[in-house]
Amino acid sequence: MSAIDLCLTTSFAAPKSGANFVVFCDPKNAVPGFASKGYLEECCRYAKKHRVYLVPWMFTVGPQLCLCLIDPEGQVIGASRAASLSMENAGQYQCYSDIRVAQTPFGQVYLSVDVDVYSPQIGRLAALKGAQLVVASQYLDPFTYSDDAVTQGAWNLAQSNDLWVVSATNMGGAVICPWDDRMASDGYVIRPNDFYPIGCHIDLEKFWQLHQRENILQGLNRGVLKKYKEFLMR
Amino acid sequence: MKTKIPLSLSVTRHLAQAVLSPQRAREEVLSLAPGEARGRFALEGILNVACLQLKAGQFHRFGDWLQHMAALMGEALKKESLLVCLPKYAFLELVRCLPSGGEGLFYALRSPEAYRQLLEGLGDYLCQLACEVFDALAQRYGVYLAAGVIPTRVGDSWRHRMYLFGGEGEPYTQDELSPGAFARQAGITPGEELAVKQTASGTFLLLGEEDLGYYEYLKIGAAMGADVVVTPSWENPDVMAAVDLPRLRAQEENLFVVRTAAVCDGLNPVVSGAYGPVALSRMRDGIIRETARGEEERVLTARLDLDRLHGLVDLEVAQRSPELEAQLRELYFPEGE
């Protein structure tokens, strides 16, 4: 498994030198449907030009709010559609339930679309499907924004599922690791900020070798879940 | 497999039983003055809770500890608290008060092996002693007392069992469902049941601190009707992790989570608090009340508005997806059972 040299930056800004994984954070809401095709084509050219894996900003295709992962050849190798919607988006888009994890040389990556990051079920589903890294792109209301929105979403997702999470919002980027006091005492490897480009070196394999502890999912008491599944699935 | 009990522990047990028998301890608790006020004066739809953020290891004599507890209970009752919550290993304060070896045994928490030895040597006695003492305290002050974890033998194994005293009849208990690494290394086995306690003043669920890592337990509890989750904790290893998980779980499941920590060696700042849905918190951050991050002993009280909690609309229910649930079911129970 290769290490990630992550770069969070605004759409089409040149990545940090040496970056192999770029995530776009745009100050606007999702790319509208009429502009999505052109935006994605440009993203594919960007990935190929800079030889990077790229997660563009959220975009719209018909009633779908989407994210995708593009490889250094400019090919889309993974995509996610919103499985839950904010109240503002509820009339505009539809929900989909196909939670997929993309295989990359860095490990298995799940793309979390907008408010999916707040859903504990969706995060758990991705973790149980083998995700090791989550890229969570989200549009947050700038007038009510506080860093706590990232704690409620991306941070919670990371700690509840032992996942690394790259949070990309219109208000800035952050990198969160599963809690371990040797790496980051509060889980934030990089706290939310918008001083782009934001760089971070992530080596998932080394992290888990260094921090030998049981994965949180191994402690899940499945016997109890089974016994009370009618309450769990209610 | 049983660990051989060291001679010193065996001697201590006999000494302890001779000097501080559970029955005598109970009588001593019941002889306490009831204080200015007694509990059970709850307003309808309101639950006042108190977190006794105790400083560990202050007392070496049971009588001194008891007087101190009486003072703290009095403080909680002044705020009309009906539910009083103790930190996770509150029972260890009783160990420290034992006639010999108490102080040494207190350090059982420093290694799983020492903790296991403590349980094998004194566990049954301590369980009986702690149950008598905390039950009597709840009775004396007319409150529900969430007494933290009291290790309890179940067959050949030990469970970290949380107790809520003060109800009618037997106490409500709940075993930790996902004990942490320390407990598992000490031979604590996970619980097999999850139940809530319905009372006239709310429906309670006891969950271990590590259990809060799993939203599933709170979801099951909420579906069973729980509106207040009580989580006993010890010293926080990390403030952020300790503070935020209870707060975030409260928001996810639309219920209150009450967490009580203990002040130990003063190395880590500790936080106790009551958390709830964002809409019910003054600053819209999910914090109903919280202690400052410090190393002080204190009684934190909070007013939980159950009526307003029941009036909240659960938006998640409106967005339920049977397809997502089917996928989850498949992964939770891979053999298709």
- Of the pLDDT bands very low, low, confident and very high (cuts 50, 70, 90), residue A52 is very high
Mean pLDDT of B105-126: 82
Looking up tokens 């192999």 gives A20
Q: What is the pLDDT of residues A5-17, one digit of tens each?
A: 999 999 999 999 9
What's residue B4's pLDDT?
Answer: 43
In angstroms, the CA B103 to CA B106 distance is 5
Rounded to an integer, the average pLDDT of B147-151 is 96
Give the closest residue to B189 by CA, choosing from B86, B248, B116, B253.
Answer: B116
Sign of the Cα torsion B208, B213, B214, B217 reads positive
Residue B16, SS3?
helix
Taking domain B6-336, whether its CATH number is 3.60.110.10 is answered by yes
Contact between A138 and A117 (Cβ < 8 Å)? yes
pLDDT band, residue B322 (cuts 50/70/90): confident
**Which residues of chain B lie closer than 8 angstroms to A84, CB-CB?**
319, 321
Mean pLDDT, range A68-95, rounded to an integer: 93
Q: Tell me which residues of chain A, numbers 29 to 58, contact chain B at a CB-CB cutoff of 8 Å.
A: none
Q: What per-residue confidence (pLDDT) applies to B240?
A: 55
User: What is the amino acid identity at position A87?
Assistant: M
Mutate to test the interface with A, among B218, B240, B247 (most CBs of A within 10 A): B240
Distance CA A97, CA A106 (A): 25
**Nearest-CA neighbor of B229 among A227, B245, B72?**
B245
Greater confidence (B258 vs A86) lies with: B258
> How much is the pLDDT for B18?
73
Preceding omega of B34 cis (within 30 degrees of 0): no
Q: For CA atoms B330, B332, B335, B337, give the dihedral sign.
A: negative
Q: How many beta carbons lie within 10 A of that of residue B336, not counting itself?
A: 6
Q: What are phi and psi of A206, to 5 degrees?
A: -65, -40
Across B147-161, average pLDDT:
96
Torsion of CA A205, A210, A213, A216, to 10 degrees: -40
Closest by alpha carbon to B253, among B295, B205, B298, B209?
B205
**B214–A155: do the CB atoms touch at under 8 Å?**
no
* Section A169-191 average pLDDT: 86
Measured distance CA(A189)–CA(A176) in Å, rounded: 5
Statement: the pTM of the whole predicted model exceeds 0.90: yes
- pLDDT band at residue B3 using 50, 70 and 90 as cut-offs: very low
Mean pLDDT comparison of A180-184, B94-98, B151-155, highest-scoring range:
B151-155
Q: CB count, 10 Å around CB of A91?
A: 7
Rounded mean pLDDT of chain A? 94
**Average pLDDT value for residue range A205-222:** 87
- Which SS3 state, helix, strand or coil, does residue B279 take? helix
Residue B168 has pLDDT above 90, yes or no: no
Residues in B closer than 8 angstroms to A188, CB to CB, are: 240
Tell me the C-alpha distance between A192 and B53, whole Å. 32
| Mean predicted confidence (pLDDT) in B181-185 | 90
A182 close to B (CB below 8 A):
no
Asked if residue A30 has pLDDT above 70, the reply is: yes
Q: How far apart are CA A214 and CA B235, in angstroms?
A: 21
| Beta-bridge mates of residue A4 | A202
- pLDDT of B5 > 50? The answer is no
Give the pLDDT score at A224: 97
Give the mean model confidence (pLDDT) for residues A180-207: 88
* Secondary structure class of A106 (helix, strand, coil): coil
Mean pLDDT value across residues B274-280: 92
For residue A34, the model assigns a pLDDT of 97
Residue B213 CB-density burial (10 A; 0-12 exposed, 13-18 middle, 19+ buried): buried
In the structure, what pLDDT confidence band is assigned to residue B296 with cuts at 50, 70 and 90? confident
Domain extents in chain B: 6-336
CATH topology of domain A4-232: Nitrilase/N-carbamoyl-D-aminoacid amidohydrolase (3.60.110)
Select from B86, B53, B41, B72 the least CA-distant residue to B290.
B53
User: pLDDT at residue B260 above 60?
Assistant: yes
Enumerate residues 119 to 178 of chain B having a beta carbon within 8 A of any beta carbon in chain A: 177-178
**CA B194 – CA B207 distance, rounded (Å):** 9
Distances (CA, A) of A123 to A130, A157, B137, B159: 11, 6, 42, 30
Find the mean pLDDT for residues A32-40.
97
pLDDT reported for residue B101: 54
Show the DSSP H helices in chain A as ranges: 33-50, 120-128, 148-150, 156-161, 204-210, 222-227, 229-232
Q: Report which of A179, A162, A140, A198 is spatially closest to residue A21, judged by C-alpha positions.
A: A198
Quick check: A228 contacting B, CB < 8 Å? yes
CA distance, residue A14 to nearest chain B CA (Å): 34
CA distances from B198 to B168, B172, B313 (A): 11, 10, 22
In the beta sheet, which residues pair with residue B52?
A: B299
Distance CA A29, CA A57 (A): 9
CA–CA dist A5, B124 (Å, integer): 54
**Cβ contact, residue pair A159, B245, below 8 Å:** yes
Is pLDDT larger for residue B266 or for residue A86? A86
Q: How many CB atoms lie within 10 A of CB B182?
A: 15
∠ CA B206-A117-A202, rounded to 5°: 105
Contact B306, B202 (CB under 8 A): yes
Q: Which amino acid is at A8?
A: L
Residue A75 has pLDDT above 90, yes or no: yes
Pairing of strands A188-193, A172-176: antiparallel
pLDDT value at B103 more than 70: no
Scanning every residue of chain B, which has its alpha carbon at the shortest distance from the alpha carbon of A215? B181
Q: Which residue type is seen at B17?
A: Q
> CA A37 to CA A20: how far, in whole Å?
24
Domain boundaries, chain A: 4-232
For Cα atoms A205, A128, A85, give the angle at the middle one, nearest 5 degrees: 110
d(CA A169, CA A146): 12
Nearest to A83 among B215, B245, B324 (CB): B324
pLDDT of B99 strictly over 90: no
pLDDT tens digits along B196-209:
999 988 999 999 99
Asked if B263 and B296 count as a contact pair (C-beta separation under 8 A), the reply is: yes
Closest listed residue to residue B255, CA positions, set B233, B285, B234, B286? B286
The one-letter code for the residue type at A219 is G
The CB-based long-range contact list for A85-91 (8 Å cut-off, 24+ gap) reads A85/A114, A85/A115, A85/B319, A86/A114, A86/A115, A87/B315, A89/A65, A89/A114, A89/A115
Cα B285 from Cα B312, distance rounded (Å): 16
pLDDT in tens, A156-171: 999 999 999 999 999 9
Q: Give the rounded percent of residues in chain A with a pLDDT score beyond 70.
A: 98
Any CB–CB contact under 8 A between A181 and chain B?
yes
Average pLDDT of span A137-165:
93
Q: Which of residues 187-216 of A touch B (CB under 8 A)?
A: 187-188, 213-214, 216
Mean pLDDT of A190-200: 95
Question: Residue B57: its pLDDT value, please?
Answer: 82
- pLDDT attached to residue B42: 59
